[in-house]
């Protein structure tokens, strides 16, 4: 495993982070028992993964908690979250505090390494600062939280508007942000700022569903062409990413997507989801491989560097893994 320091937190973290949500949710939607899902977490840790990202909305906090019972707590970095508004209900400080305490109980731990606000939209940011943040700071003062983070809502905030406000706030130590081979605007807008401010970055949507099947990439590019975001000539290519597959390059599009993401300057941890052991090992292997050839990365920038919203699919019905 390869490790790095998460921004200015001092936390030493694996570049491959186990995302316990997404479509896979540790295999629970596919019928895995909680014990089997917890064993998957333990196997990831055995392979060197020490960053675990969960949330109440994922339904996997108890699973992670079950795994933590068999682990030395200070050997893993645990992140979880709370929403600012959920089902039309705006969370006040008391509700946020209650959620923090419940997460501690579900995880079976005395502290959370990185506590994040979940999918904050631009219109929710003022409430976040004025109402929610004081509760987080109070919990941090009591030792329940070690570091504060905030995650964007990539399915509707394609230009990182919320995080571009948050980057100058001086309180957020970790950002969770979307970036992939066809959503490269993060490089131009955000990564230089997070590096300057020493804000740690957790990457989501590096693969998601789009890069698991060629037909999904083709469909997304045709949609982008119809919206005038890319030329029809580029979108008509039936194998739009086949140039990545060659000797000395990547063996699969998924592998290429992970290698592209993990070696991007400004990226600390790439989160991946999984529901089975083979998929777990394959993902970790991809994330530990060298960067893509420079010519391939340059071509990705040339062809797709101006796209900002491809691969931001939030529908679990499309995911088969």
The tokens for 128 are 């976040």
Diameter of the chain measured on Cα atoms:
58
What is the mean pLDDT for each group of 10 consecutive residues in the chain (321 residues)?
A: 98 98 92 97 98 96 98 97 93 96 98 97 97 97 98 93 96 97 93 97 93 93 91 93 96 97 98 96 98 97 90 53 30
Q: Looking at residue 315, what is its pLDDT?
A: 52
- Rounded Cα distance between 140 and 148, Å, is 8
| Per-residue burial over 232-264, b = 16 or more CB atoms within 10 Å of its CB, e = otherwise | eeebeeeebbeebeeeeebeebbbbbbbbbbbb
Q: Looking at residue 8, what is its pLDDT?
A: 97
Q: Looking at residue 308, what is its pLDDT?
A: 83
The tokens for 208 are 């998601």
Asked whether 9 and 177 are in contact (CB, 8 A), the reply is: no
Q: Looking at residue 321, what is its pLDDT?
A: 30
Q: Looking at residue 319, what is its pLDDT?
A: 35
Residue boundaries of the structural domains of the chain: 3-310
Q: Classify domain 3-310 at the CATH topology level.
A: TIM Barrel (3.20.20)
Point out the residues that are catalytic.
58
């Amino acid at each position: 495993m390869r490790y790095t320091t998460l921004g200015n937190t001092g936390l030493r973290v694996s570049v491959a982070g186990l995302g316990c949500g997404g479509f896979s949710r540790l295999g629970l939607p596919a019928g895995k028992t909680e014990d089997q899902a917890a064993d998957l977490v333990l196997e990831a840790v055995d392979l060197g993964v020490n960053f675990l990202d969960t949330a109440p909305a994922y339904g996997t906090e108890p699973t992670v908690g079950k795994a933590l019972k068999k682990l030395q707590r200070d050997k893993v970095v645990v992140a979880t979250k709370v929403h600012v508004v959920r089902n039309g209900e705006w969370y006040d400080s008391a509700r946020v505090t209650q959620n923090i305490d419940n997460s501690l109980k579900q995880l079976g731990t005395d502290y959370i390494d990185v506590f994040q606000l979940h999918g904050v939209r631009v219109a929710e940011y003022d409430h976040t600062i004025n109402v929610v943040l004081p509760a987080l700071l109070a919990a941090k003062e009591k030792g329940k939280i070690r570091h504060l983070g905030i995650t964007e809502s990539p399915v509707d905030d394609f230009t990182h508007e919320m995080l571009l406000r948050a980057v100058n706030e001086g309180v957020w130590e970790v950002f969770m942000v979307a970036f992939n081979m066809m959503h490269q605007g993060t490089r131009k807008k955000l990564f230089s700022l997070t590096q300057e401010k020493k804000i740690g970055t957790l990457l989501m949507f590096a693969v998601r569903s789009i890069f698991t099947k060629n037909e999904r990439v083709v469909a997304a590019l045709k949609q982008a062409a119809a919206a005038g975001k890319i030329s029809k000539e580029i979108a008509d290519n039936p194998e739009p990413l086949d140039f990545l597959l060659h000797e000395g390059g990547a063996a699969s599009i998924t592998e290429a997507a992970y290698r592209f993401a993990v070696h991007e300057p400004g990226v600390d941890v790439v989160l991946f989801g999984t529901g089975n052991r083979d998929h777990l090992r394959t993902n970790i292997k991809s994330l530990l491989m060298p960067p893509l050839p420079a010519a391939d990365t340059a071509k990705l920038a040339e062809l797709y560097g101006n796209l900002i919203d491809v691969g931001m699919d939030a529908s679990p019905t499309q995911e088969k893994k």
